[in-house]
Amino acid sequence: MKKDKILVIGACGQIGVELTLALRKMYGDANVVASDLREEHDLLKGTGPYVSLDVMNKEMLHVLIIRHNITQVYLLAAILSATGEKNPLLAWHINMQSLLNVLDIAKEENIDKVYWPSSIAVFGPNSPMQDTPQHTIIEPTTIYGISKFAGERWCEYYNHRYGVDVRSLRYPGLISYKSAPGGGTTDYAVEIFHEAKENKKYTSFLSENTYLPMMYMPDAIRATIELMEADASKISVRSAYNLSAMSFSPKEIAAEIKKHIPEFAISYEPDYRQQIADGWPNSMDDSLARADWGWKHEYDLEKMTADMFKNI
Ligand code: NAD
């Protein structure tokens, strides 16, 4: 039997650090190769192999995959929503070419499985805002959302046409304490905890009643691994699954934080990210993920807030 050997690309980002550590626990430290453009993240140091990699360099990526006998690739490198709006052509180029490089090498080398995350950003102002269904109008208006939607189509295409076993989730905004967020529209929900603890106040760049789908990182890591571990026969969606846990507004998270820090005060100064958030769903219907491979979230706003304050 072939032994699993995993490559994580973008391993030093908000998701990558925690996912790499979780995969190392499951598959053995030496069997999970972490890679990124950046210097190795402190939390990864000494936990397993690390390689400096620009995923845009297809030749180098190909050599790395062959040299390490890689059987599974997790591609997390991307330009996120808020950063993408500052340089749309760069975001398109990186988000698309990185995926095409990975999918094409996966096809050529018969890689067992590929993971690539999509996002709630695929939806746009014409999608239903509440309980946004898996299959609905998808007209993204940010370059990030456009690149994610195109990426979903490429994933399904490589699966149907070439049999590449690629799997994907439309992550909501992710909240974590181990590694900092990387320039997304939901970053406020991470910053607010640190500011509450250090300064007892926070100025939100989204308005008080902006509801967005959110998830605590332990749930996101578990969802990712459960999807990748699921029997291929259970995966009916080869573009990307809606994935959901909770939905809240800046006002609601502030109220929850006040239960832990009564003097905490929030103010609102919406900036360009407000327009991005306004085009995204308020909440998502992820019933297909629940039915197909048994997804079940564990953390709601209350439980997540308590855990964040325990750890930051
Ligand atoms: P992040 O920005 O924190 O991390 C991305 C990592 O990729 C960084 O460490 C960066 O150095 C690396 N990278 C960038 N360009 C690279 C290149 N050319 N070669 C190699 N590495 C490169 O992002 P994240 O939040 O960890 O997101 C990971 C994935 O999940 C992305 O595809 C993102 O779109 C998706 N996602 C994230 C969220 C969220 O809330 N964090 C929500 C939905 C989807």
Q: Which atom of ligand 1 is nearest to the CA of 183?
A: 2
pLDDT of residue 37: 97
Mutate to test the pocket of ligand 1, among 15, 56, 74, 154 (most ligand atoms within 8 A of CB): 15
Q: Are 62 and 183 members of one domain?
A: no
Q: Are 103 and 227 members of one domain?
A: yes
Q: Are 212 and 173 in contact (CB under 8 A)?
A: yes
Q: Are 219 and 209 members of one domain?
A: no
The active-site residue out of 74, 144, 202, 216 is 144
Nearest Cα residue to atom 29 of ligand 1 = 76
- The CATH number covering residue 183 comes to 3.90.25
Examine residue 1 and state whether it is found in any structural domain, yes or no.
no
Examine residue 292 and state whether it is found in any structural domain, yes or no.
no
Examine residue 73 and state whether it is found in any structural domain, yes or no.
yes
Q: Are 93 and 208 members of one domain?
A: no
Distance, in Å, from the CA atom of 305 to the CA atom of 294, rounded to the nearest integer, reads 25
pLDDT of residue 2: 47
Report the DSSP beta bridge partners of residue 214. Answer: 173, 246
Q: Are 67 and 87 members of one domain?
A: yes
- The CATH number covering residue 19 comes to 3.40.50.720
- Taking the CA atoms of residue 80, residue 85, residue 89 and residue 92 in that order, the dihedral angle to the nearest 10 degrees is 30
Q: Are 285 and 245 in contact (CB under 8 A)?
A: no
Residues in the chain: 312
Residue 50 is encoded by which pair of tokens? Answer: 């690390």
Report the DSSP beta bridge partners of residue 187. Answer: none
Distance, in Å, from the CA atom of 296 to the CA atom of 284, rounded to the nearest integer, reads 14
Report the DSSP beta bridge partners of residue 118. Answer: 170
Count of beta carbons in the 10 Å neighbourhood of residue 126:
12
Above 0.95 for ipTM, yes or no? yes
Q: Are 193 and 122 members of one domain?
A: no
**144 a catalytic residue:** yes
| N- to C-terminal Cα separation, the chain | 42
Q: Are 159 and 91 members of one domain?
A: yes
Examine residue 163 and state whether it is found in any structural domain, yes or no.
yes
Distance, in Å, from the CA atom of 121 to the CA atom of 130, rounded to the nearest integer, reads 14
pLDDT of residue 119: 98
Examine residue 293 and state whether it is found in any structural domain, yes or no.
no
Q: Are 148 and 200 members of one domain?
A: no
Listed residues 227, 242, 257: the one ending a domain? 242
Q: Tell the burial category of 51 from Cβ atoms under 10 Å away from its Cβ (0-12, 13-18, 19+).
A: middle
Counted domains in the chain:
2
Question: Structural domain of residue 183, as residue ranges?
Answer: 179-213+246-283+299-311
Examine residue 289 and state whether it is found in any structural domain, yes or no.
no
Q: Are 266 and 254 in contact (CB under 8 A)?
A: yes
Global pTM reads 0.97
Q: Are 67 and 130 members of one domain?
A: yes
3-state DSSP helix/strand/coil percent for the chain, to nearest 5? Answer: 45, 15, 40
Count of beta carbons in the 10 Å neighbourhood of residue 38:
11
**pLDDT mean for each 10 residues of the chain (312 residues):** 85 97 97 98 98 98 98 98 95 98 98 98 97 98 97 98 98 95 93 97 98 98 98 98 98 98 98 95 98 98 98 96
Per-residue burial over 291-310, b = 16 or more CB atoms within 10 Å of its CB, e = otherwise: ebbebebebebeebbebbbe
Which residues contact ligand 1 via a Cβ below 6 A?
A: 9-10, 12-16, 36-38, 53-56, 76-78, 80, 94, 117, 119, 171, 173-174, 181-182, 184, 186
Q: Are 52 and 125 members of one domain?
A: yes
pLDDT of residue 1: 42
Q: Are 65 and 115 members of one domain?
A: yes
